[in-house]
A = this chain, B = another copy of it.
Amino acid sequence: MASIKDVARLAGVSVATVSRAIAIPEKVSEKTLKKVNDAVALSGYRPNLLARNFRSSRSFCIVVMVPDITNPFFSQVIKAIEDRAQQRGYAVLLGDTRDQNSREQEYVHRVETRLADGLIQLRPNEIHVDGDPLPIVYACGCENVPNCSVTIDNTLAAKKVVDYLVSLGHTRIGCLTGLRENPHSMERLAGYRQALEAAGLEYSEQYVSEGDFTLGSGQDAAKKIMCQAKPPTALFCMSDQMAMGAIQALQAQGVQIPQQVSIVGFDNIAYAEFWHPTITTVSQPAEEMGKRAVDMLVSIIEGKEFTHESKILPTQLIVRDSSGAAPKDPA
């Protein structure tokens, strides 16, 4: 087994330099770092990095907290985070919180006890920390959080969807929300209301049905909202998964989409363009979000500076086959 001395000899530097390059890579020049890394690879040296972590008080890990990893939108963001973190020398600890605060606290605790250097929050919830502030970046999160964040303008994105449905002649536009207290739901509902108001259409609670962003909840919410005397001719769904559930439920009742009812989703997950019909949706920049969140977090961790940077990324309405002109004689 090669030793640190072998690495130093191969790299042509001192043992202390090898030690520093392993413990605090950003404190040595790129040239030296490369020499040391090449020598480590060549010699087969396997440093005990727990010793490095202990001495440098760093774990080179970041936590990503996600409400539900099986939601394809989040898995896209996580893929980008893992990729970027790997490039920056950090591993990603996965915190699937199942939307529970107690599980979230366990992961925050990992940062407090130095098992992770910082965290990226994908839940749209503010994290409460008792002691010193921790390196935290909010991504896909709510606006107005007191830390760094990478978000989209949910209100504006929702308004654009409803403006589009209005332009197709729809006047009875329903909304399938996520959980009503979820900040994403609240912001998107605000955009829905703004668009109705701008079009001179009245807001009615009868046209709003609550789900929780999942397939099954879209099915249930659609069934509920459609069984009234004058059902909507268009549904704005707050996730593609809910849109898929809604389409399934309506098709099972023999409803033609988009001839009788138009459906619009949110997120642009991979399945949206394979669905039958293909789904009109709002594309969120999942990859860019993940990448930027890592860069922000690493600069806080390494610079030890807590800035309050907030970056809002653009969204795009993608029109596909699930939406069309309002029916002339709606049911």
Contacts and interface: CB of A to CB of B under 8 A. Distances in A.
A276 B250 CA distance: 12
Interface in A272-317: 274-276
Interface in A46-60: 46-51, 53-54, 57-60
Contacts of A91: 93-94, 110, 115
A9 interface: no
5 contacts: A49-B114, A51-B54, A64-B94, A92-B94, A248-B274
Contacts of A130: 44
A61 B94 CA distance: 11
A268 to B, nearest CB: 13
A174 B309 CA distance: 55
A53 B51 CA distance: 8
A256 to B, nearest CB: 13
A112 interface: yes
Given A44-B130, A54-B54, A69 B79 contact: yes
A70 B61 contact: no
Interface string A77-92: 0110011001000011
A15 B69 CA distance: 40
Given A54-B54, A79-B70, A93-B94, A46 B274 contact: no
A113 interface: yes
Given A69-B75, A69-B78, A50 B114 contact: yes
Identical chains in the assembly:
2
B215 A270 contact: yes
Nearest to A271: B271
A96 B110 contact: no
Nearest to A56: B50
B82 A75 contact: no
Contacts of A261: none
Contact of A57 (B50, B79, B115, B247): B50
Given A70-B270, A270-B215, A50 B46 contact: no
A72 interface: yes
B70 A76 contact: yes
A57 B54 CA distance: 11
A141 interface: no
A71 to B, nearest CB: 8
